[in-house]
Each structure stands twice: as C-alpha cells, then as structure tokens.
Amino acid sequence: GAVVSQHPSWVICKSGTSVKIECRSLDFQATTMFWYRQFPKQSLMLMATSNEGSKATYEQGVEKDKFLINHASLTLSTLTVTSAHPEDSSFYICSARDGRLNTDTQYFGPGTRLTVL
Amino acid sequence: QKEVEQNSGPLSVPEGAIASLNCTYSDRGSQSFFWYRQYSGKSPELIMFIYSNGDKEDGRFTAQLNKASQYVSLLIRDSQPSDSATYLCAVKGTSYGKLTFGQGTILTVHP
C-alpha cells in the first residue's frame, strides 16, 4: 500500500507561537508532497506543492513567510506555521504523490488539527 | 465557472440501493480523475482513479469517465450506512501532479 503519516494529529497553541507539522511517506518515496488546509464544511484548499530538494510552490494568496515548507528528504516534508493566530486554526492535511503510478495518485495523511488560542 | 463541480447534496439513498455521484470539469486537457471518500473529521481516502474513457470497476464501486462530455461519475452498488460520507472528485490537469478538488457531495445511506 501507500501509507502517509502526519504528526502531530492535533495541537493547541497560544497565539504568536510557531507550530511544526511533519508529513512522512512510510512505504514509498515521494518526490512531491502537497499541503492542504480545510475549514469546517469546506473542501480542501491546496496551500503549496513541496518538491524534494527545492523550494515549495505556493498557491496564490498563501503567505510563504508564514507557512514555511521544507522537503528535506524523499520521505519527509514539514510545514511550519509561524506566529500562529486564531484565524490559522484549521485542519491541515498533507498528501504524497506516488510516482510509481503514472496517474499522479495522491495519498493523504491523517491530518493535523490546529487550534490557536 | 468552477474548475471541478459537484452537486453538494446531500444525496440520500436507502441501504442496498445504487448511489450515483457526478462530477464535471472544465479543463479539457485533464488527464487523470480520482474519487476520494472523506468521513467527518478525517482526511480523504482514495477510492479509485480512472484515466481512460469508459467504466472501471472495483468491488462495489464503478467509476465512469466521458472526456468528450467532461464528466466523471462514481456508482456505489449495494450502498451501506458505512458509505455515508463526503465524496470528493479530483482532477489532474496539466499542472504537474496538482489535483483540483470539487466541493464534495455528501452521501447519506439510511437503513
């Protein structure tokens, strides 16, 4: 199978602090990972595309200095929410592209629920 | 016009019936099409993908693709209450690896 893990599964922090979320592909190498955000009762919104060994590509309207992405290896990408504020509270989900298939199938991690007080 | 459109529902079907979920997309260059299921509070899980015109079957699920009509659907046979979830249609266009998601269709299967 294709398993993607995320850590932590939930986090509560105070306003102004930074939070790091890890995304790992456990049984395959992922040269590309994606970070999404989902607010209640809304669909997934792509934040950025993370490529191993290069800078992430951010979607329009996403602040790259606030949402720092590092894809240091073929199995790990991290998202750091810097100086988090209550409006950043959301469900953050990563996905990893399984390059073994030619269809660009993405497998999702279980998500991280961030609550900023 | 949204790039990927789904009827938000809710779609309600009785247990044992066939649930039909539909999706249209605007980019004619789209190459691959995916159906994900998302339970409340959970992340999406892949049901199946399709990239050729026609039908693709996997157990109780059948995906149908018609590129000329820019239409993709998912049929769920013998629907079960455990199938109650939000179903997301995702389309890979010309951007490398990037998927565009529809807003999802809420399916409720009642006993």
CB < 8 Å to B97, chain A: 32, 34, 49, 97, 104, 106
* Rounded (5°) CA angle B59-A43-A8: 90
Q: Report the distance separating Cα A40 and Cα A22, nearest Å.
A: 22
Q: Can you give the pLDDT at residue A103?
A: 63
Percent of chain B with pLDDT over 90: 81
Q: Report the distance separating Cα B36 and Cα B88, nearest Å.
A: 5
Percent of chain B with pLDDT over 70: 95
Smallest CA-to-CA distance from B65 within B50, B75, B87 is with B50
Q: Can you give the pLDDT at residue B110?
A: 95
Q: Residue-wise over B47-68: b if at least 16 C-beta within 10 A, else e?
A: bbbbbeeeeeeeeebbbbbeee
CB contact at 8 A, B105 and B8: yes
Mutate to test the interface with B, among A36, A37, A103 (most CBs of B within 10 A): A103
Q: Can you give the pLDDT at residue B1?
A: 63
pLDDT in tens, A32-91: 999 999 998 888 999 999 988 888 999 999 999 999 999 888 899 999 999 999 999 999
pLDDT in tens, B51-68: 999 999 999 999 999 999
**Which pair of structure tokens corresponds to residue A89?**
């509270």
> Is residue A14's pLDDT more than 80?
yes
Q: Is B8 helix (H, G, I), strand (E, B) or coil?
A: coil
Q: Can you give the pLDDT at residue B7?
A: 86
Average pLDDT estimate for B29-41: 93
Smallest CA-to-CA distance from A72 within A25, A11, A3, A117 is with A25
Amino acid letter for position A62: V
pLDDT in tens, A19-34: 999 999 998 888 899 9
Interface contact A103-B43, CB threshold 8 A:
no
DSSP per-residue string spanning B31-88: -EEEEEEE-TTS--EEEEEE-SSEEEEETTEEEEEETTTTEEEEEESS--GGG-EEEE
Q: Can you give the pLDDT at residue A101?
A: 66
Interface contact B42-A103, CB threshold 8 A:
no
